[in-house]
Amino acid sequence: MRVYCAVAARGLRRYSTYRAAVAAGLFTNSVFGVINAMVLLALFAARPEINGYDAEDAVTQVFVAQGLIAVVAIMGSPLELGERIRTGAVATDLLRPVSLLGWWLADDLGRAAFHLVFRGIPVFAVGAFLFDLLIPTDPWRWAAVAVSIALATLVSFALRYLYELAGFWLMDTRGVQTVAGLLGPIAAGMLLPLPLFPAGVGEVLRLLPWASIVQLPAEVFLGKDTLPGGTVLSGLAVQAGWALALFAFAAWATSRATARVVVQGG
Amino acid sequence: MVDLLGSVRGGRDVRPRRNPAGTPVRTYLRLAWTWCRAMAQYPASLVLMSLATSLGAIAEIGAVLVVYTHAGRLAGFDVHEGLLIAGLATTAFGCANMLMGSVESLGQHIRTGTLDAMLVRPVSPLVQMATDRFAPRRLGRILPAAGVTAYALAAAGIDWTPGRVLALTVFLVSGTAIACAIWVIGACLQFVLPDAREAAHSVTYGGQALVEYPLSVYSRGVVRAATFVVPLSFVSWQPALYLLGRPDPTGLPDALRLATPLVAVLLCALAAATWRFGLRHYRSTGS
């Protein structure tokens, strides 16, 4: 366990080195948040309520989503596993007496923790300063939000790990990354909140794991009854279910991949 | 560089022509074509990535459509007028992303030292940078955007005159030029802060997101900033107002839309000056 803590701490420290990148990301996420929020405010000025969402709900979700962008790394994956598989450096990773999945999970959780504090919370604060956001007052709700963000990070990690693990079969994962980087944010409810989508599309997207990355945490934050099952607890259960299923699949795929891996040079 | 050896050999001018590769445009096309051929080595990957890029663009325009479907009229604009604005914005930024988008890797070139390698080659570093990893898949973004623009132009009830047809061409070129200039100026920030790649996204991808909707949606300050500070409004908003023949609902003078080509020329000049300034003050990362 100590080794995973050490890896997580290194992941955290590594990202804390690039301060200009943090400031740049914070600025950009805030600008996007303001643009999206203003468009949605104009929309809700024309129609005060859409599928259980009002203007405040939608604007709050915009800033929850912008705050989560860096934490769940939805626009692109900073895991280096795919590149290491391509170059063969993954052989070094496999020599270590720790699990491949656990190693990269620890590394990513360190990064996520750093981004939550230095990108997620500041972006949300900018939103709360500029717009009227619905901020929960119930301490239990905050606890649920914390759990939900943690589960969103796990689901997002498991998905990104699987994209990269595809490198064992495909060699080059850039195609997978491009597709996932373009379609992931839409399916997650980052482009528009899922309740605004046409009825059929929104329902289908809700059944997919990407909804657990942004849409469900936003609804837990808002305490909406549009959550699957209608309550915060059932929403968290869906997220936990996806996390478990994806991790089980990732562990199985890892064992399959490492059983067949042949690294150049012997 | 002084050709010392040449003068020793009897003063004959054996210096190579200043630009052996031809004009910048020809060099650009040649380098871009090289990358296209490289990408075509993996045809399945190229097709899939182009399709994914198209889907991304379609989803973005779909989001605009969803907003208008719910709202009916957004800030006084109906769905066809809205699609025209979104189409013009996506087309211009899509073209600019394909032509100049690669310049945003400047920080990475500085960090890894590949910029130094570009500087010793007898080809404009900006052309080399813009064509580096030239991605033909970005065409997948332009085609749906152009299709939507064409549809909206037909459906928005525009009173076509020869002047408007000419203006449309001028607007499309100007919009792309403005977006290219914004990309270059944004990338120049990385001469100072090589890690700050994402900051420029606020005016490139963020700029596109901003001008996909009628500017009357935003607050007064945002409209002024998008007109006079970063002239994003000339990419889609001002052209659309001209084509639709509508007065400016944000209270700015209607004559402003006629300034679009002038803004494009000035902004490109500014981008060239910024790039030169950045390059002059660039000192390699050392050893």
For B231-281, the pLDDT digits (tens) are 999 999 999 999 999 999 999 999 999 999 999 999 999 999 999 999 999
pLDDT of residue B1: 46
Residues B147, A142: Cα–Cα separation, whole Å:
46
Residues A124, A68: Cα–Cα separation, whole Å:
9
State yes or no: pLDDT of B182 exceeds 60: yes
Confidence bin at B228 (pLDDT 50/70/90): very high
Q: Do B71 and A46 lie within an 8 Å CB cutoff?
A: yes
pTM of the model: 0.90
pLDDT of residue A118: 95
- Residue B74 backbone dihedrals phi, psi, to 5 degrees: -110, 115
Q: Which residue has the higher pLDDT, A39 or B19?
A: A39
pLDDT of residue A104: 94
| Residues of chain A below pLDDT 50 | 266
Q: If you average pLDDT over residues B202-222, what whole number do you get?
A: 95
* Domain edges within chain B: 21-33+42-280
| Shortest alpha-carbon distance between residue B81 and chain A (Å) | 16
Q: Which residues of A66-104 are buried (b: 16+ CB within 10 A; e: fewer)?
A: bbbbbbbbbbebebebbebbbeeebbebeeeeeebbebb
Q: If you average pLDDT over residues B64-90, what whole number do you get?
A: 95
Residues A111, A13: Cα–Cα separation, whole Å:
8
A24 vs B contacts (CB less than 8 Å): 193, 195-199
B52 vs A contacts (CB less than 8 Å): 175, 178-179, 182-183
Q: Cβ neighbours of residue B237 under 8 Å, at least 6 residues apart?
A: B85, B211, B214, B215, B226
The answer to whether the beta carbons of residues B60 and B101 sit under 8 Å apart is no
B49 vs A contacts (CB less than 8 Å): 174-175, 178-179
- Per residue in B146-181, pLDDT tens? 999 999 999 998 999 999 999 999 999 999 999 999
Q: Which residue has the higher pLDDT, B227 or A259?
A: B227
pLDDT of residue B21: 59
pLDDT of residue B11: 46
pLDDT of residue B22: 75
Confidence bin at B3 (pLDDT 50/70/90): very low
**Among candidates A212, A193, A188, which has minimal Cα distance to A53?**
A193
**Surface of A (133-172) touching B: CB under 8 A:** 172
Q: If you average pLDDT over residues B186-195, what whole number do you get?
A: 92
| Shortest alpha-carbon distance between residue A266 and chain B (Å) | 27
Confidence bin at B17 (pLDDT 50/70/90): low
A21 vs B contacts (CB less than 8 Å): 195-198
